[in-house]
Structure 1
Amino acid sequence: MKLYGMTDSGNCYKPRLAMAKLGIPYEHVETSSRDGTTRKPDYLAKNANGKVPLLELDDGRFIAESNAILLYLAEGTRLLPEERYERAVVCQWLFFEQYSHEPYVAVRRALLKYPERAKLATPERLAETLEGGNRALGVMEQQLERSPFLAGAAMSVADISLYAYTHDAGEAGFDLTAFPAVSGWLKRVENDPGHVPMMPG
């Protein structure tokens, strides 16, 4: 399989981390939205939405959207439960990540990290993303006070999805010491077999 993505993107880190933990071989194809690569005709023919990550299967089919890729990779593995309710809870956290966590934690990180986003980093926008991110971290904190992983006793793709932008939330100005259960969970994810950091080396 081929994975098209940006090495320093949390969304692109998700499938790389899942494949590392599951021992799935793949070829990484560095593809950046910042240099226009994702808007070129050859890439748009693969993903009309012009975004990364994108997984190319061995048979030539494609899967876009990071959490959809996670569900595909995790099918039949330890990272996705078979029981109906437990699987729905995993999906619940994947939707939470995209609608309640990523728009604040990841966006705030991007505003502060990438020079081309600096003009969008207004005091109002930074305050909004800080408030929303802390709210999302608070929801995670409540769950992780009750269970070692987000969907229960076992590690799942819910944890991989939310780990991607939570583990470096400090770079975005979030104080993770205010969320001790989240901090403990980060260590458990990192201690899970096969873990790799977002940035190589």
Structure 2
Amino acid sequence: MASPQNDNGYLPFLDSLPGRAHPAVFTGCGVAYSRASTITTRDRSLDGYSRDKFPHWITQSGKCDMREVVLKRDGTDVVQSSSCTATSGTWYSPYDGETWTASSDLDIDHVVPLSNAWKSGASEWTTQDRQAFANDLTHPQLLAVTDNVNSQKRDKVSYHCTYAEMWVKVKSVYNLTITSDEKNALVEMLDQC
């Protein structure tokens, strides 16, 4: 796997979210269009895929696993117990526009799902590379979102542009492929910017 490249741009949308700093992403849809056109288009299968091949929610510091780190980063006024569990705070879910005060109401979403990454090229990576991808705090890959809308993240029309930009960013920095249908969906979302 090629090392992910840093991008100095960001989405203005992220400035309006409550909580801590989010990973850098694109500065606009033009950049996303440009990046999308450079991503290799290829169909692959899920043969051999298992979520266990992507070690996730690894310990980051002391007793804090990746879930707790993301909850702290994405929340406002987050208080953690001595075991690093978020005991209070406020979280805004960009997928549905809801605000939550209980961390149990949130999932940590992989913007590019692990199964998609597998069929997009991660099947050829080492376990260490897949672990880095599944726990990436540098790029827009992990977000705290409402737990029951995680699978419906693309349904919020006002979020299409941001979501497509994040998807393209992750696919680009990890040199993952996209399918023709995926590319068409990304372009359709970017057209709404």
- Under a length normalisation based on structure 1, what TM-score does the superposition of the two structures give? 0.33
With normalisation by structure 2, the TM-score equals: 0.34
Higher-helix-fraction structure: 1
Higher strand share: 2
